[in-house]
Amino acid sequence: MDYRCLVLPIKEAEIAAQMNLEYAYRTKKRDGSPKKPNKVWVGYNYVPETKDKAKKQSMVEEQEFVKPFINNWDF
């Protein structure tokens, strides 16, 4: 598996981090219980299937937000 590092200006990095935390940790699990802290990942060419349309939309919005910073990546 390939891993890549994404470097953003501080202001944009803070916004992207908050976007990620919003859907990754500030939402409840399927059973309604709170999520526990864990690793955070971002799939910049991949959005997993989810029944939560708001969560999926948040993932897409995050990807669109960082897209200008990954223009030199070879996918």
- Boundaries of every domain in the chain: 14-69
**Average pLDDT of adjacent 10-residue blocks, the chain of 75 residues:** 76 89 81 82 69 78 84 58
DSSP state, 56?
H
58 within 8 A of 23, measured Cβ to Cβ = yes
pLDDT in tens, 63-72: 888 888 876 6
